Structures are given as C-alpha cells and as structure tokens.
Structure 1
C-alpha cells in the first residue's frame, strides 16, 4: 500500500514538473513572439511612412487624365510615393518618358513600376469590356503584384487636394477583420443608386463607391479575393452596369465586416453637392479627394469640378509655383457658371490652401 502511494505521489510530482516546464516554455516563446512582432510592426510602420504606394489602371484615352492624378499627389505631399500603374503596351513608353522626367524634377520623390493588363484567358473579353476598357483589372491586383503589401487604388478621374499621407494613415485604423476601406455611394437612400436601382446584392443599406479604395493586399490574398470575382461576374454580368464596382459591392454584401467605411470627403463626387450640401465633413474640413465620376471634369455639367481639374491640368511639375496653381484655381472657379457645387467654394479651397501653406509657406495671393 505504501509503495502504491509513493508511486502515485511520484507520478503527480512528475506531471506537475512537466506542466511547470510547459508553462515556462510557452511564456518564454510568447515573449519572444511579442518582441519580434512589435519589431515587425515598427519596421512595417517605418516603411509605410517612408514610401506610400498608389495604383491605378489606365487604357486608351485616359492617359492625360491619369497624369493629373500623379500631379495632384506630388503637389500636395512631400512624402515619397511609389506608383504601380497597370496599362496597355501602347502607353508604357509615354509613361516612362513623362514619369522619369518628373522623377528627376522632384528629386526622386516619385518612383513607379508599369504592369501590363492581365486578365484570365478564359473570360478575357468579358473582363476587358465589363465597364470602361480594362477598368476591371483592379479586381485581380492582389494576385498580380505579390511583392506589394498595401496600396491606395484610385480611378483615373480623381484628384488629391490634400497630403496622401493622411489617407494612407487609415490603414492603421483597420481592425483584424478589415481588408479594405471605401466610401459609401451615398448615405441618402433617395440619392444613392444602389437602393433605388440595383438588381444585385450590395454593401449595407446604400452601397459603396469604389473609385477610392484602400487595399490591404496581404489580407485580400488570405481572404481569397481573386477566387470570388469570376464566379460573381459570370452569375451577375447581365445586372452589373458599374462593372467592377458592382462586383466589389456583391463581395462586401456577404462580408460586411471586411470593410472600413471612409468619410465622404475622401471620395467627393458631384452627388455630394449638386442637390445641396450632402457631405458636412467636406464643408467643415475641406474636400480631400475630388472624384470626377460620370465625366464631371470634362462634360461642362459641373463647372466647379472642371475648374479645379483645369488648374491642375495646366500645372507644370518642377516649373510652376504652387502660388500659380492657387491663383488659377481661384480664377477658373470664380469665372465658372453658378452651380450648387460652386456655392460650396470653401469646401473646395480650404484644404489645398492649408496644405500648400503647411508645405511651402504662405503664398502671396
């Protein structure tokens, strides 16, 4: 009986020692992990500050418009920006020539890589012409550039009016489930297109506009993003007039927790002003990113948008002063025909003036 008791005691002592050793090893490993993880986060944050990545897709007639995206970024920020541009073979020499020149003029603030248009062969024609030519390329970006962790995607009809650093900082606000940040199409069901006309699922109550999209590509790859897009296109292609944007809405309809919703000032369209002031944050803090959707920069229906675009289009990188730019913005905006959007002049000018004052000093105007 005594031997049995001693055996039990010895066995329990052995188990206790084993558990203690396990807990010690686990604690030690956790501490090592935390130190390495913190260091990795610190390094990643440092890399993010040192280089911002921005991307767009451009084919055919959108070349000049896309150059103004690059101009607007360079005007309103001093942080190095790396552009990943998906384009057809005809435009690559033009991009190389212009962007190399601008890189020299801006002391290498600008760097870039050119990627070819690359759709799956099985449905290449469907993808190429789903909306505007090659616009759907953006859906496949996570798979096409595995060397990029995160980027800001913008349509070519967008203009930055503030420092791109501010928009980039929203990546740090993502929770563990969020893979992308976008703005709502509109938060008014009487204005937003989706609750009124969509024949397919869409995000939330109002749908999203994908013209400005923060993309954590690493998380999107883990999510399996590219695996979703072709089955959705084949199922809904007769009911998605906005092409890639509608596909994004369908994906996020079923994965709402994957979305961080941006304030409307980061994707400001004519819908936010043509019926009156529908984006209070832009009015109080200024429009950050102007989106000329539905050809608002070119069709003379939104003279306020056209005035800002014209001034940036005429700006010469490395030659013109920011004072010249602001003077032209003021001139063209003042001369533009009256409009509801034009009535919100302060929303258009507040941030460009503040940013230029902060970066270059107050101009003599």
Structure 2
C-alpha cells in the first residue's frame, strides 16, 4: 500500500484549513451584509408612540469650522419654536467652552424653556480613524447616538447646514405617526429615480428606488436600541467603506435597504435642498405648503450659485437672539434679500421660502398680511 509523502499530507492539511477559514469568513460576511431576515423585517416594536407637546429634543454634530453654522441652525429653531427645546450637541473639545458661553447667554434671553447638553466626540477605538474621517470629519458620530444617549428616548437629528423655517414641534409630532415597525423618518434623496444619485451611481444597496437623504433624521432611539442598530454599522462600514462616498448617509441607506418597513418617509419640504428647485420645481409639496426645513447641502448657503438659499441664511444670521428685533423685521429682511437676488430657478419659488415663516409669525405675533 502506497503512503503519501509527509509534504503531500502537509499541503493537503493547509489547503483544507485555508478552505475552512475562507468558508467561515464568507458566512460571517454574508451575515454582516445581508442584515435582516424576513422575521426581522416584519418586527413590531413594543415601545409606545410619544405624545404630542413633549419636550422637543434636537441634536447635531460639530467639528472643524462648523461652529457659527451650527449657531445659525440653533437660532432658526429658537426663533420659530413655541415649545420647550432641549439641544444635544456633540462637538470637539475646543468648542465646548464657546458653546457653553453662547448658549448660557441665550438661555437668559429666551422666555421659553431652553436647555442643552454637550458631549465629546466619541468613536470606538477600533476603526476610530475610519469613523472620524468618513465623508467629513465627525459626521459619522450620529450613527452611534443610540448607544451614547441611553437616557434619551427620541430626537430630531439635523446636519449643521440646515435651517428651520417653522416650529420644530410640528416636525417632532411626526413621531406620533410612526407605524409599529418604524424606527426613523427621513426624506428621499430625490423623488425621480432618473435624476437621483443613488440609482445612477451607487455601488452599494440603498433604500427604495431613490435612496434617502440623511440631513434631517427623526430617530426613535428607544426603538433603534431594540432593533440592535449599533451591531450593524461597523460590519457595514468595513464591508463597503471603499464604495460609500457619502459616508454615514450611505450606511443608513444600506441598513434601510434591508429593512424598508423601518422607515417613515418625510416629505421633501422637511429636507429641502437645491436639488428640489435648481432645475425646476421638483417638490410640489413645498411649493404648495411651504418649505419647512431648508438644507444648504453642497454649501448652498455660501455659494453664489444659489442666491435664494443665501438670502434666507443671511436674514437668519443677522437676527440677534435677545436683541430688540421683532419677528416682523426678520420676515422683512428675508423677503428683501430674496427680492434682491439674481434670477434663478430656486428664486422663482420665493413664496415657498416665505410661506411658513409668514404663517408662523402671523399666528404667534399677530402680524398683518403681507
């Protein structure tokens, strides 16, 4: 009987071992990227819907030169809201003193309840460098919030380049409309798949036919924790990091691709970007009912290419919290700057920019008709 030489046996053992490792890795990879079974996709969450008129919780992340931009965002919320507002800010260490100083001063100048809490930027040590610089510095912090804020039930998360044009509590009340399977609310990246970025260019799974834009995100943190949100984000990042140019937004799209019933879709008027108007009217709801949240993505608030966005941003930036400036003056300046802009497709929809601020001030400050 012939015997295999020792080296032949050794080679067979090595081949078998490598094959076993590759097989196990492939199973792990499939588990991590094919995220949810059909059972999970039909999951019903036990946490109750929130009641109306609860304290509104707003959150954002600030790094680098975004401090002034974030103050303008917060100012827009304080101008229009009539509810108690609690703000949760994740910021680099050197910004904490500036936030404390400014917001403590604002608290004394505002009649309505306004509180805030500051947190350091906090990523897992493993892959920290990848997380820190995914898309833009610190932007991925939002993905870890369900674990970082165990004391918070829900929040509205917004990018710092957004502005509220109406009372935040109206958007907050969408939490009460969530179905039992829904953990978050976002607007679509675009309503037309022929022009949306995701179906044309994405090299990864994404939500629905057009993908989601994450600039405004209602987060039911209690349900996200039940869902196991944190368990999925690192495997997704490691699997797709070479193909996710929009960073945290792409990770959110990948998760909700596999769990579409977890999303409550918001109208484009709650995340209105230049994409909705630069080539014509692509958000009929905003045109008819008014823009509620203006999102200056791709630096629309600072670019001469989007003068209408610049005009609204300028009016809010010039409004001083606590100064003897009436809301009527803010509205006058907003309309004045819009009228002074160079012609543009977005500028042609001037009434969409002014409708919600006008209605809000008339209701709460008895302003005369325009």
Aligned pairs (5 A) from 1:143-162: 143-162=147-166
The equivalent of 1:303 in structure 2 is 307
Name the structure 2 match of 1:103: 107
Q: Which residue of 1 aligns with 2:358?
A: 353
Structure 1 position 190, deviation (Å):
2.1
TM-score normalised to structure 2 length: 0.85
Q: Aligned partners of 1:41, 1:219: CA distance in 2, in Å?
A: 9
Misfit runs of 4+, over 4 Å: none
- Contact 2:146 2:225 (C-alpha < 8 Å) held by counterparts: yes
Match in the other structure for 1:327: 332
Structure 2 stretches of 5 or more lacking a match?
Answer: 1-46
Question: How far did 1:187 drift?
Answer: 0.9
Could you tell me which residue of structure 2 aligns to residue 177 of structure 1? 181
Measured after TM superposition, the shift of residue 128 of structure 1 is 0.5
Match among 164, 169, 186 for residue 165 of structure 1: 169
The count of residues paired between Structure 1 and Structure 2 equals 323
Query: Higher helix fraction: Structure 1 or Structure 2?
Result: 1
Q: Secondary structure at the match of 2:66?
A: helix
How do 1:1-365 residues align onto structure 2 when only pairs under 5 Å count?
45=51, 49-319=53-323, 320-362=325-367
Q: In the alignment, is the contact (CA less than 8 A) between 1:183 and 1:262 conserved in 2?
A: yes
* CA distance 1:202–1:178, shift in 2 (3 Å): same
Query: Once the 2 structures are TM-superposed, how far is the Cα of residue 108 of structure 1 from its aligned partner?
Result: 4.9
TM-score, scaled relative to structure 1: 0.86
CA contact (8 A) 2:82 2:112 kept: no
For 2:81 and 2:111, locate their aligned partners in 1 and report how far apart those are by CA, in whole Å: 13
**Within 1, Cα distance between the matches of 2:272 and 2:80?**
17
SS of residue matched to 2:61: strand
Shift of 1:107: 2.6
The question of whether the paired residues in 2 share the 8 Å contact of 1:127 and 1:136 is answered with yes
Gaps of 5+ in 1: 1-39
* Secondary structure, aligned partner of 1:237: helix
Q: Is the 8 A contact 1:323 1:363 kept in 2?
A: no
Question: Helix, strand or coil: the match of 1:182?
Answer: strand
- Looking at structure 2, the residues matched to 300 and 94 of structure 1 have their Cα atoms a distance apart, in angstroms, of 29
Report SS of the residue matched to 1:181. strand
SS in 2 for 1:338: coil
Please give the secondary structure, in 1, of the residue aligned with 2:166.
coil
Query: Residues 156 and 172 of structure 2 are in contact (CA less than 8 Å); yes or no, is this contact kept in structure 1?
Result: yes
SS of residue in 2 equivalent to 1:204: coil
Partners of 1:291 and 1:261 lie apart in 2 by 17
Superposed CA RMSD = 1.4
Note if contact 2:83-2:112 (Cα within 8 Å) is conserved in structure 1: no
Q: Distance in 1 between matches of 2:311 and 2:359?
A: 19
Structure 1 distance, partners of 2:48, 2:148, is 25
Query: How many angstroms apart in 2 are the aligned matches of 1:307 and 1:363?
Result: 23
Highest CA radius of gyration, 1 or 2? 1
Which string of whole-angstrom CA distances, capped at 9 and with x for unpartnered residues, describes residues 246-293 of structure 1?
A: 000000000001000001100000010001001011011000000000
Query: How far does residue 323 in structure 1 lie from its aligned partner after superposition?
Result: 1.3
1:122 aligns to what SS in structure 2? coil
Partners of 1:288 and 1:67 lie apart in 2 by: 18
Secondary structure (helix, strand or coil) at the match of 1:290 reads strand
- 3-state SS in 2 of match to 1:310: helix
Q: Secondary structure at the match of 1:90?
A: helix
